[in-house]
Amino acid sequence: MDLLINVGLPLSLAIIMLSLGIGLEVADFRRVLTRRRAFAIGALSQVLLLPVAAFITVTLFALPPQIAVGFMLLSFCPGGVTSNILSKLAKADVALSVSLTAVISLLSIVTVPILAVWSIGHFMGEAAPKVSITGLAIALFLITTLPVAIGVSLRHFARGFADRVEGPLSKAAAILFVLIVLAALAGNWQFFIDNLGEMGAGLITLNIALLLIGLGLARVANLSWDESKTISIETGIQNSTLGITLAALITGTETGFSPLALPAAVYGITMYAVVLPFLIWFRNR
């Protein structure tokens, strides 16, 4: 189990982030400058409103400290490749989705460590494990930012190679995501069963709220319908693998997968069921 968490989990996330980066163009980052308003609304919704909504949810549902921290860790994670795919299925603004994913993923090495340490101290109090913000930031850089940068560089300097490996890499990333979620659930099965009712209700409520918050904020800001759909999806879909990895980085491997990883693992499953009616609505309107 230690080998799986210490080596397999970070390596799997790195491969997933590489698959994200290899699908990105340098133009995806430059687009932020030409679509400042839409990007600002999307970033505000993801970086600020998403954690606020998660905090309100764990407070209303009075969730146990470890589950509450898991909710917060999940809320700090960017969308990942999944949000880009769902934006395409929703006939939304895929270019905006890709730009938001790219930039927010890079910013996460700054925002996530600070917010993670705060949430651990707030909810767990004296039982909180000691976490170094700097150490967490370095770990995130190595397993998220660096693979994305390598992927973007491959796309820019070796486009033919990038085109050949993008498909197999995406399939590998999907398989690894499923295995990570199953391992996190299996490693905390009894804790999962004991807290499934409240945790599941909280996660579904949060997911629906996030999709509506992103959509509502975009409509209030008078963005186009395609842009609004994108921001809704980017706000409601999170990189669950990163949430599970964060939990492992914070608690270590002595007791296997941490209970802090459960909300991210469950959300990685339920978010598809929750977003499906929204996708049908988005495609048909």
C-alpha 275/C-alpha 102 separation (Å) is 21
Contact 234, 84 (CB under 8 A): no
As a whole number, mean pLDDT of residues 78-105 equals 86
C-alpha 257/C-alpha 241 separation (Å) is 13
Contact 114, 142 (CB under 8 A): no
C-alpha 209/C-alpha 191 separation (Å) is 26
The proportion of the chain whose per-residue pLDDT surpasses 70, expressed as a percent, equals: 94
Instruction: Give 5's pLDDT tier (boundaries 50, 70, 90).
Output: low
C-alpha 81/C-alpha 187 separation (Å) is 26
Q: Is the pLDDT of residue 257 over 80?
A: no
C-alpha 202/C-alpha 209 separation (Å) is 10
- 260-285 per-position pLDDT tens digit: 888 998 998 899 999 999 999 998 87
C-alpha 226/C-alpha 96 separation (Å) is 9
Lowest mean pLDDT across 24-33, 34-43, 205-214: 24-33
Lowest mean pLDDT across 61-70, 225-234, 241-250: 241-250
The proportion of the chain whose per-residue pLDDT surpasses 90, expressed as a percent, equals: 36
- The CATH architecture assigned to 2-280 reads Up-down Bundle (1.20)
C-alpha 25/C-alpha 82 separation (Å) is 17
Mean pLDDT of the chain: 86
Domain range summary for the chain, segments of one domain joined by +: 2-280
Instruction: Give 203's pLDDT tier (boundaries 50, 70, 90).
Output: very high
